[in-house]
């Protein structure tokens, strides 16, 4: 910025459209950060406290709702992994039931009469007690033709009636998998990979949040510098207005010159107001990203100066980049998960063996007769299931999972190629940002010298007011480009760290 004594002596002339475009270009850069504004209302900074970039990052990571949802996804994936491990252990179940029957069981329709037998010592055998003639011929019933017993054993009808109106039954069952075709291990692998995917996605989301915070932060710093530049420009134009008024009083300037300068002064003030509004909006956006109320005012640590440091040499090993990139890690874990699905599909074609034990009971029970009380007992066994023929259903499902896995592998290869291109573009942009900054510093020196020469030339009557205002406009553009170059270095450095997987 020019010293006050130089600004008071500065004289300008018309060039309104160029000046207005420069200031509009300043404030339009603010709108690029709006997609990164995240609504989170938690945490408040102390009034007047200076906040660093790391503090803004920490607040955003702590308050961001997307990251909170990602943490819940990780927690849920951990529970799924524990649930899958439980399949190795025996399962115990209880089954109980009650049934009301309208009728009871009656095994006999009437009293049952059963023939009896007696032991014959002569033949050493049992013989039926039947009616015979004196000569020993059995007598038959004329109506049915059956033998007529002389003695019968009577089973009363009531003895074979069982009360089954209310039946209670239950069973405790224990099932221990022995061999499930590798399906249990496959499910455990799948849930472990799913948890790893959730972690990688959370880390990738965290990088996006940090990148958004950096953009919002450096936008505020940029607009703060441009606000200083706009205020300085208003002061210069105001000084010009005072000088032209003095020249008009002395008859050295025309009324048209004064009106032109006054128009430029109003335009400079309007542009400064727009920059100031953009600065306030950018602070609100940064507060939203950090999870603070939108009206929270934060003084940033870098507002006092943004001169970039020397570029750091970066050795880029693409193998390390691939291993650090969380989006690639999520895809790699997804491929492993699909491999688990292959093993799961293959296990559906293999035999399954399990040991089974149970304790069942009922009321009434038939263990010791038909008793109207609870009774039961243990049973132990094993089950074997062997898939025989399903018209290729399981095999085709297995081949489908293999095809999906192969497609994911090709997708990973394609994404790695794109990441390589992305890293190279980011590196070129990073190097170009430093070169641009170096050129803007030289341009600023030239613009300062040009402005000084134009001011002296106008005072000596060698140059016109148009020449001076052109020099002033070039000076304004040079300062604005330098600020953009300084912020561009910060943003390019952040983006390069993001694509390299080192942004934390």
Residues 414-435: pLDDT tens digits? Answer: 999 999 999 999 999 999 999 9
Judged against a pLDDT cut of 70, whether residue 34 lies above it is answered with no
Rounded-to-integer distance, Cα 487 and Cα 30, Å: 12
Q: Which one has a higher pLDDT value, 367 or 309?
A: 367
Nearest-5° Cα angle at 217, 215 to 219: 65
Share of the chain above pLDDT 90, in %: 49
Structure tokens at 420: 């390589």
Residues 6+ apart with CB under 8 A from 341: 186, 190, 401, 404, 405
Rounded-to-integer distance, Cα 431 and Cα 310, Å: 11
Structure tokens at 118: 């007696």
Q: State pTM to two decimals.
A: 0.76
**Total residue length of the chain:** 504
**What single string gives the DSSP state of each residue in 253-274?**
S-HHHHHHHHHHHHHHHHHHHH
Q: Which residues pair with 95 in a beta bridge?
A: 171
Q: What is the pLDDT of residues 150-184, one digit of tens each?
A: 888 888 887 777 888 898 999 999 999 999 999 99
For 456, other C-beta atoms within 10 Å of its C-beta total: 12
Rounded-to-integer distance, Cα 398 and Cα 390, Å: 13
Structure tokens at 358: 């149970």
How much is the pLDDT for 306? 65
Which of 174, 172, 167 has its CA nearest to residue 374? Answer: 167
């Amino acid at each position: 910025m020019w010293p006050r004594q130089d600004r008071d002596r500065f004289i300008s002339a018309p060039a309104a459209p160029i000046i207005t475009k420069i200031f509009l270009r300043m404030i339009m850069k603010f709108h690029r950060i709006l997609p990164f504004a995240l609504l989170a209302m938690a945490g408040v900074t102390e009034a007047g406290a200076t906040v660093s970039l790391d503090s803004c990052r920490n607040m955003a990571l702590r308050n961001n709702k997307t990251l909170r949802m990602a943490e819940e996804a990780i927690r849920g994936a951990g529970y799924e992994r524990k649930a899958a491990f439980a399949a190795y252990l025996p399962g115990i179940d209880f089954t109980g039931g009650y049934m009301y029957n309208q009728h009871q069981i009656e095994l006999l329709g009437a009293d049952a009469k059963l023939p009896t037998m007696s032991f014959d010592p002569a033949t050493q055998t049992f013989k039926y007690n039947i009616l015979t003639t004196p000569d020993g011929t059995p007598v038959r019933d004329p109506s049915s033709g059956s033998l007529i017993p002389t003695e019968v054993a009577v089973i009363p009808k009531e003895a074979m009636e069982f009360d089954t109106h209310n039946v209670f039954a239950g069973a405790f069952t224990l099932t221990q998998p022995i061999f499930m075709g590798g399906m249990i291990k496959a499910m455990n692998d799948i849930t472990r990979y799913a948890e790893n995917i959730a972690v990688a996605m959370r880390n990738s989301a965290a990088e996006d949040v940090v990148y958004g915070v950096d953009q919002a932060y450096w936008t505020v710093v940029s607009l703060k510098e441009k606000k200083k530049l706009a205020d300085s420009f208003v002061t210069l134009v105001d000084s010009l207005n005072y000088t032209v008024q003095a020249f008009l009083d002395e008859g050295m300037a025309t009324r048209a010159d004064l009106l032109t300068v006054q128009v430029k002064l109003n335009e400079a003030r309007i542009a400064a107001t727009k920059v100031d509004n953009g600065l306030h909006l950018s602070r609100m956006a940064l507060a939203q990203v950090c999870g603070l109320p939108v009206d929270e005012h934060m003084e940033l640590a870098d507002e006092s100066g943004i001169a970039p440091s020397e570029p750091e040499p970066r050795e880029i090993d693409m193998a390390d980049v691939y291993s650090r990139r969380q989006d690639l890690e999520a895809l790699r874990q997804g491929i492993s998960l699909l491999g688990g699905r292959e093993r799961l599909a293959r296990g559906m074609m293999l035999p399954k063996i399990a040991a089974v034990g149970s304790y069942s009971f009922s009321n009434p029970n038939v263990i010791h007769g038909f008793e109207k009380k609870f009774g039961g007992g243990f049973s132990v066994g094993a089950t074997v299931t062997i898939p025989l023929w399903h018209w290729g259903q399981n095999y085709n499902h297995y081949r489908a999972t293999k095809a999906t896995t192969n497609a994911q592998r090709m997708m990973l290869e394609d994404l790695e190629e794109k990441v390589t291109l992305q890293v190279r573009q980011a590196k070129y942009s990073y190097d170009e940002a430093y070169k641009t900054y170096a050129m803007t510093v030289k341009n600023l020196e030239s613009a300062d010298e040009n402005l000084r020469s134009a001011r002296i030339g106008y005072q000596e009557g060698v140059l016109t007011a148009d020449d001076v205002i052109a020099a002033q406009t070039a000076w304004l553009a040079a300062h604005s480009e330098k600020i953009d170059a300084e912020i561009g270095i910060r943003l390019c450095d952040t983006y390069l760290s993001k694509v390299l997987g080192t942004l934390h």
